[in-house]
Structure 1
């Protein structure tokens, strides 16, 4: 697999690369990231290799990330329609302005117009609700998004970091009213963050949303750089090496062991695992250097066997909230211990085999 193995995103005809270039650190405005020149070089290399999906947001490096992307497309006379440019709204760019952030119609319209100006384009391909806004009725948000789509300024809409129940409500309202509905979900997802498997990812599959994980390396913890042996040491100018739980070190140990067996890096194994998960369409990569980009893309060449996946799943198996554990057991009762759709038998049937109905 490579970047040209395009996949349709959610319940749509939009085709994107299996790895999406995350531009959160394009620009040095947060005093950490890649310079505009390095950012453009990374973007050029990604596109040269066939990548077509770039993800940013209005607040990333104070808006500079969007401008760098727009500058690169203009300076190199790149055909706009050849790229899938995604940006997000929600974050407040104007401290003190109560309408500067959130998902109200007023905020959304201003955010979109400013993003279009910085990106130097007439439309965005994918417009993301960046996070859940509990103060705005979801009908208002969905109505405004639909208006943006019908106006031609947005091609598709998607949602990030929002409870499954609220996304389900939004999808049903949109469908019943004939409005545009979400085609994608962004959620944190990695070997160290699998709780979205409880409700968010099953909801996404049922509702026709393609899953695009963020932080698949858990802020670099899954690169293999942090181990039991070097805990407490300062491994970079920016970060101290914290002490993690035994469970985290168990996952790191398994990654390092499997990487050595296959002659690859822990980074490649961790990303390959995410790419192989049900519902995942494209995985975000946050890169600051050309080396980061090269290392991340190698994950597409890694093949994990069923035994490899089982080994990684076992060591990273997450505790999930009610009712998931209960329903797994209840499923066994309903189907008399059968292995249904890959769910293992957890408890024996409540009724013995010779039990008969009383009435």
Structure 2
């Protein structure tokens, strides 16, 4: 079993156990001009399950529904539905010209769910995710609809992807005040190259008990090792075509790629593994979504938690990637906060008070109603 996947964590304040690395299925299909064929997708799926992973992320819009259809087939053929924590998303339109075929209103949520259940060949979704804020639908309507679906047994939990921090906190506060099912998690872009969620989203998630699922952890390949800093510029596959964005990309990320390359060399690890390791160990992050188009690529990424980043090298990455402080965060810095505590040491709770309960792997009781054999690592039928 992969070092990255032999430990499971709870998603937010739910009791749902998920892998620290989730398999992203956006590459299942080639309708978008990239991705992989069905045979390769099946190998990716099997590789992930064989490593001990249980958390799979897709969406109704991915590859025109192919991603969901293939996942449904893979899960059915391997009879592993109970083992899988299946997440899919709703919100993007299914029909141009029809205002109710997209968005986050009740009518579209119910329409989208029926389609996903059919394509995934299942009668429930473990984690149903609002794909992006639509700026229009009242949060009360979204919350009530998702809570109704949980009570009806159609979904188990729900999450929010790509929403403003105020919207997520509004939803969670409404759920708490009205005794409805809470927001289990936020799914947001997060990487060494994109740390803007640290300003509002991460603190909100930690304060209100929402897990965080990080997407694009390698910044669309920037941190994968395909790009190198050389002569003050960034060189790689996407820079070869003279794209307009490369100048801004080079100026912004040159120092980061230098630091990441140095840390990777010091650890004798691929740059991608270092970037994923850093992210998976960030405070508040529950699971990192990793995608691939080749099994060997996925296997390499799944090994990203098989080592520890030393404090000094972590500090090197922090310094090279830290986003600029903006108002009002500038007022929350330590030098400013010391003026609010009389320059004394003040903690919210005594040291160690917030230690989370943890169950370690090890010897267990031998009970007659528990099967003695370990669960197979490779799905049935292999």
Same fold (TM over 0.5): yes
Alignment match, 1:336: 342
- 1:121 and 2:88 equivalent? no
- 1:318 and 2:323 equivalent? yes
TM-score (norm: length of structure 1): 0.90
Alignment match, 2:332: 327
Q: Judge which range, 136-145 or 305-314, deviates more.
A: 305-314
SS of 2:230's partner is coil
- What does residue range 8-157 of structure 1 map to in structure 2 within 5 Å? 8-76=10-78, 78-157=79-158
Alignment match, 1:6: 8
Q: CA deviation at 1:239?
A: 7.0
CA shift in 2, pair 1:234/1:307, >3 Å? closer
Q: Which of the numbers 237, 245, 252 marks the counterpart of 2:250?
A: 245
Q: CA deviation at 1:54?
A: 0.2
> 2:251, 2:305 → 1: CA distance?
29
CA shift in 2, pair 1:234/1:172, >3 Å? closer
Deviations 1:275-334 (A, max 9, x none): 110001110002111122012112111210121211111111101332111122442211
Bigger RCO (CA 8 Å, 6+ sep): 2
- 1:267 and 2:269 equivalent? no
> 1:139, 1:257 → 2: CA distance?
49
Q: CA deviation at 1:81?
A: 1.1
Alignment match, 2:377: none
SS of 1:30's partner is coil
> 1:222, 1:272 → 2: CA distance?
12
Give aligned pairs, total: 341
Q: CA deviation at 1:4?
A: 2.2
> 1:57, 1:66 → 2: CA distance?
7
Deviations 1:245-277 (A, max 9, x none): 334111101111111111111111111100110
> 1:323, 1:57 → 2: CA distance?
35
Are the equivalent residues in 1 in contact too, given 2:10–2:16 (CA < 8 A)?
yes
Structure 1: gaps of 5 or more residues? 343-359
Q: Runs (4+) of structure 1 moved beyond 4 Å? A: 230-234, 236-241, 338-342
Are the equivalent residues in 1 in contact too, given 2:22–2:290 (CA < 8 A)?
yes
> 1:203, 1:232 → 2: CA distance?
34
CA shift in 2, pair 1:38/1:2, >3 Å? same
Alignment match, 2:203: 202
SS of 1:222's partner is coil
TM-score (norm: length of structure 2): 0.85
> 1:253, 1:237 → 2: CA distance?
17
- What does residue range 302-313 of structure 1 map to in structure 2 within 5 Å? 302-313=307-318
> 2:220, 2:127 → 1: CA distance?
25
CA shift in 2, pair 1:339/1:192, >3 Å? farther
> 1:221, 1:336 → 2: CA distance?
44
> 1:197, 1:340 → 2: CA distance?
23
Q: CA deviation at 1:144?
A: 0.3
> 1:316, 1:236 → 2: CA distance?
21
Alignment match, 2:368: none
Q: Judge which range, 320-329 or 90-99, deviates more.
A: 320-329
> 1:283, 1:338 → 2: CA distance?
37
- What does residue range 221-236 of structure 1 map to in structure 2 within 5 Å? 221-229=222-230, 235=237
Are the equivalent residues in 2 in contact too, given 1:128–1:158 (CA < 8 A)?
yes
Q: CA deviation at 1:336?
A: 2.9
- What does residue range 151-190 of structure 1 map to in structure 2 within 5 Å? 151-190=152-191
> 1:98, 1:9 → 2: CA distance?
33
Are the equivalent residues in 2 in contact too, given 1:195–1:319 (CA < 8 A)?
no
CA shift in 2, pair 1:124/1:248, >3 Å? same
Are the equivalent residues in 2 in contact too, given 1:186–1:212 (CA < 8 A)?
yes
- 1:288 and 2:293 equivalent? yes
